[in-house]
Amino acid sequence: MKFLCICQYGHSPSAALVRVFHSLKHEAVAVGVGTSPSAIEVIGDWADHICVMQPHFANYVPDRLKHKVAVFDVGHDQWSNPYNQDLLTILRSMADQFLKEKQ
């Protein structure tokens, strides 16, 4: 599967989720609504699923792609680091559950 992961700047929670999906042998790209909002439509077309790290980030996804949105709500970025082990553990659990539901 291919994933677009969206957060505020594309540097912490979405980048961490990309790392999780890569470890599970899936393609994934991180984008920030504050840094590359125009990339959302282009990469959203490519992606099978669009993972938003907070529900309000779905507002940046074009209506025609909303059916691809999945919310991975980790709340406000308190980690500021995509290598944070607590964040990765939370996201790994969310990703495992999401993938199990998609089988």
Q: Is 26 helix (H, G, I), strand (E, B) or coil?
A: coil
pLDDT tens for each residue of 33-89 = 999 999 999 999 999 999 999 999 999 999 999 999 999 999 988 888 999 999 999
Say what the pLDDT of residue 27 is. Answer: 98
In the block, residue with structure tokens 């609504």 = 33
Whole-angstrom distance, CA of residue 25 vs CA of residue 22: 5
Residue 87: how many CA atoms within 13 Å on its side-chain side?
Answer: 22
pTM above 0.75, yes or no: yes
